[in-house]
Copies of this chain bind each other. A is one copy, B any other.
Amino acid sequence: MATRSTLSTALALGLTLAAGAHADEGMWMPTQLPDLAKPLKAAGFKGNPADLANVTAAPLSAVVRAGGGTGSFVSEDGLLLTNHHVAMGVIQYNSTAEHNLIDGGFIAQGRSDERPSNPDFRVLVTTGFDKVTDEVLRDARGKTGRAYFDAVDRASKRLVAECEQEGNVRCSVADMYYGTDFYRIRQLELSDVRLVYAPPRAIGNYGDEIDNFMWPRHTGDFTLLRAYVGKDGKPAAYSPDNVPYHPPAHLKMAIDGPKTGDFAMLAGYPGITYRHRTAAEFAGQIDTVLPRRVAVFQQMIDTIEATTAKDAQARTRYAAQLQSLKNNRKRAAGELEGLLRSDAKTQRASDEAAMLKATDATWQPDIQALLGSLSQGASMGERDFVLEQAAAQSQLLRSALLLERLRIESAKPDTERESGYQQRDQALIEGTLKQVQRRYASEVEKALLTNLLTRYQQLPDAQRVPEFDAAFGRTPAALVKALDTLYSGTRLGDEAERLSRFAAAKEGKALAHDPLIDLAGPLVAAQLRMEGERKEREGEQLRLRPAYMQALFAWRAKQGRAVYPDANRTLRISYGKVEALSPRDAVHFDPVTTVAGIVEKNTNAFPFDAPKPLLAAIAKGDFGSTADPVLKTQTVNFLTNLDTTGGNSGSPVLNARGELIGLNFDSNWESVSASWWFDPRFKRAVHVDMRYLRWLLAKVYPAPALLTEMGVPAE
């Protein structure tokens, strides 16, 4: 296993990219960049690639995790730039009916006026990134299945615990290349983060859902925060006595802006991608998983709309769930559309076939075993999805399942409980149980469960679960009868009934009788059994996938291409260029937008209600030093071909000299499918032009001190 790991390093990192071969695809680990020096330079990078390798030194140490996204320090006094949507919780936390900072925006009048963030907002500064592959895999070697999974899990937990002993740090173990390599990441945890500057919502979220995923775009999706620490320089909870944090590095704001063809690079914490999955997984996603998701979500949308058509109260209660289902449906349909447009299935299949033909015999047995395990899991896909949705889309059934599982887990010592059911999770569970009241109507829940469980009833025997069959019968008539009986008998619609059982469950005590609670006993037992089977498969896949990756490394090496690990919320770098988009026949979009588009879109009504001061400033045309020298006007957003995914929100975009030119905040609709397949024709990332930020701070909602602090002209 050590051999494999060493080989992987050599193959994945020790290569230079063949010219033109997917030159812009890649979410690289910083440690890979010195080996990518040649293509980086060829792309236009003017700095030293070796400087990018160390995540704990400048410039990468300026790039941090912030809330659910990415942020970057932009001054030596801890000023932090991220997206308006990433900092939305902070802005909301400081808003009141009288002082609505979401609508009105916020400019701190000096540091003492900077506002504390919501208590759970965190900034994480990476201070260590060490390979721990041998430590993680030592005990796992020779094991298979669930035992392999548990050994990796135990070793990882031990490494995290050791690392966190020193305090003030959050540690984690990241799996790179699907079980091939493991890295321990150490992060400083800053919890005193304050709101410094936020534009009004109609700038920070101009266009809202209508413009989401759209290009051309005209959104000032940025906010400035500031990190504070105790007087001793160490992380501390909020206190008025705290002092600004001095980050190990900060980014320098560029003076010039981007134009077509310019080199661009981006650092951030992309969430999850599936680019190195097998051809069978691609086929499954395209032929089965996504069409199933579209169909099931659509059926639930239709069901909610039909059952609430004549019931205004129910309509209100299900509005958020309906919106979420519509978003999920749209997302799945967009991903499917993109994968079909790129012909990803055929392309991945022919690539894999050629790889398997060329690969060393050493890896073949594990690869074949992997494909078998994946196929086994896929054969249960419909059942797993339908039963998961039955819990996720219901309120009372979900409550009963949640309470029963909490009861079981709470009987164990806290550290042994399944994550999600530990003591620290109890507040969240209580919140979930409380909100049922505002989201439930029995007729709608029964109709949704009828849909989903009818689908379950039609599954072949191999996918059946005796406990579910017993609970809901095997015919539509039996199902209707079972649901009617359950929902006419249950008292879980009352908050008090749910909360009294919550009190018992979190002590691991038996739950008082109720038809749904009684049913949850066998159903949760079945869920636990299926979870065990899943972990068994996942353990096998964790053991076997490295062979597939080794074959891939060797195959890509033959093609002259390096391999980046699929995204996993660790720090990555992508590089490419400012690039226009021609998404459809006869349609061409410029890569840079201007304030003219704000005026064109403005309707004075949400979400295109541009603030009066912004419209006045645009009409005045006083763009000063931030005007684009060629366009002769103020730019707003720009487009690059950088490789991004969810989690890259707030990522800084740098020019060839490593200066800050943009702030990543979205992708175009055509690249929704990029989590699986990078198509250079369509994959674009959408950024705020830093000149727009500078103009707003200089001329529209002035904050000259902040511009000075960032080292750019204050007007």
Contacts and interface: CB of A to CB of B under 8 A. Distances in A.
Interface string A560-595: 000000000000000000000000111111111110
A600 interface: yes
A600 B340 CA distance: 11
Contact of A585 (B310, B587, B588, B600): B600
A334 to B, nearest CB: 13
B586 A587 contact: no
A591 B585 CA distance: 11
A589 B597 CA distance: 16
Interface string A214-225: 011010000000
Interface string A310-344: 10000000000000000000000000000001000
A596 interface: yes
Nearest to A217: B586
Contact of A590 (B216, B588, B590): B588
Contacts of A588: 587-590
A587 B216 contact: yes
Contacts of A591: 586
Contacts of A310: 310
Interface string A444-461: 000000000000000000
Nearest to A589: B586
Nearest to A638: B586
A590 B587 CA distance: 7
Interface in A203-221: 215-216, 218
A215 B587 CA distance: 9
A587 B596 CA distance: 12
Interface string A181-220: 0000000000000000000000000000000000110100
B589 A216 contact: no
B592 A597 contact: no
B596 A590 contact: no
A592 B586 contact: yes
Nearest to A639: B586
A639 B191 CA distance: 58
A588 B216 CA distance: 11
Contacts of A216: 584-587
Contacts of A586: 215-216, 589-594, 597
A265 B585 CA distance: 25
A640 to B, nearest CB: 14
A589 B587 contact: yes
Nearest to A581: B586
Nearest to A592: B586
A596 B585 CA distance: 6
Nearest to A341: B600
Nearest to A633: B585
Contact of A597 (B585, B596, B600): B585
Interface in A528-573: none
20 contacts: A215-B586, A216-B584, A216-B586, A218-B585, A341-B600, A584-B597, A585-B593, A585-B594, A585-B596, A585-B597, A585-B600, A586-B590, A586-B592, A586-B593, A586-B594, A586-B597, A587-B587, A587-B590, A588-B588, A588-B590
> Nearest 7 CB-CB pairs, A to B?
A585-B597, A216-B586, A586-B590, A588-B588, A586-B593, A585-B596, A584-B600
Given A585-B596, A587-B590, A588-B588, 20 more contacts: A216-B584, A216-B586, A216-B587, A310-B310, A341-B600, A584-B597, A584-B600, A585-B594, A585-B597, A585-B600, A586-B590, A586-B591, A586-B592, A586-B593, A586-B594, A586-B597, A587-B587, A587-B588, A588-B589, A588-B590
